[in-house]
Amino acid sequence: MNDRLRSDSAAALADMASRGTLKVPPILDAPQGPSSRLGDGREVLVACSNDYLGLAADPRVVAASARGLQEFGAGTASVRFICGTFTPHLELERDLASLVGTEASLTFVSCWDANAAAITTLADENTVVLSDALNHASIIDAVRLSRAGKKVVYPHVDLAALDEALSGMGEWARRIVVTDGVFSMEGDVAPLPDLVELCRRHDAVLIVDDSHGVGVMGADGRGTPSAQGVLGEIDVLTGTLGKALGGAAGGYVAGPSEVVELLTQVARPSLFSNALPVPTACGAREAVRILRTERERVTRLHSLAAALRDGLRDAGLDPLPGATAIVPIIVGETARAGRMSRELREEHGVLVTGFGYPVVPEGTARLRIQANAAMTDDNVAALVKAIAAVAS
């Protein structure tokens, strides 16, 4: 045992605690949903979950996962190319491609791995990658790990700056623009039609991570491209199964069949990491089916998110504008966000996470509130009342 490693780690933790930035996660002792139960037995209203459609504990999704467990076992015990590809993987991948408007898709154990697979495979030493400044950490790390010959960060959704940057990249064999569809900390969306036009004009590849958009955006829930009228026009889409699509785990890359086959053949997260557990694939496939057949869930989600924003404004608060299910309120310092989050949990029975540095820049700490289609109108009213109380 290296004693210095232990003491250095302890000192770092003590420093976080003294500055009020140490994260202490709540422990749930019941299924995920708008209402759940903490380990100490207290009932809570959950308003920080990515379970946007309320499907994580839906009996049909649970039953599909259980059938997958009984029929195929607990795990794949292999990577895909050895003996880890099961029939439910192929069925889910067909359904995902159909959902997001592409020819094919490939699943991974997380969208972190999906982003790593897509970006590190497609970006070589003859490639320049241009990444939005507020992209998710998985994109940032994937770009860092890639062999791209040049890496550029452009200002958040600044199309003029991106256009200017691309204009000077003509010598590169491949130009890749990568962006979130819905930005998880801001709740705003990328201007995909403009990005599609820009990339076509500069012969660039557009990669969009739509993890917070699929199941949420558009009247049909097919994601941000559908909501903005460019379904089927994005070169490469990535997304998650761990949010609206059942909430368990997993991610995917979707795109042209040739690109997906290339990833199948050479992407390191697929070649060197076990395949998505089959029970998870079965549950996610049922979640996709429910999304496609019960569009009223998406309508309800949109209505609740709008009511939440309106209610917060009526209470004198200032949530960031947007049309997504993510409703952030900027509170300033990280310690204040943590304190408000603790007061919501301890005094009001509400779970809303406070985000601060290093997740967001210093001075922009926030409460990130998230709507859930299974919430009731009374849930929204109680949520607004509680947030107003701790913000006063």
Is residue 184 among the annotated active site residues?
yes
Which of 66, 107, 97, 60 is CA-nearest to residue 290?
60
Catalytic site residue from 65, 105, 211, 212: 212
Q: 325 with 300: CB under 8 angstroms? A: no
Give the Cα separation of 319 and 188 in Å (integer).
Answer: 12
Q: Give 359's DSSP letter.
A: T
**DSSP character for 22?**
-
Q: Active site residue: 138, 184, 273, 341, which one?
A: 184
Phi/psi for 141 (5° steps) reads -70, -35
Residue listed under structure tokens 């991974």: 108
In the set 89, 136, 243, 302, the catalytic residue is 243
Place of tokens 């309106």: 310
Residue 332 belongs to what H/E stretch? strand 326-332
**385 is a catalytic site residue:** no
Q: Which two tokens stand for residue 14?
A: 């003590």
Task: Say how far apart CA 249 and CA 109 lie, in whole Å.
Answer: 7
- What is the rounded CA–CA span in Å between residue 177 and residue 14? 40
Token pair listed for 47: 């308003």
Catalytic residues: 184, 212, 243
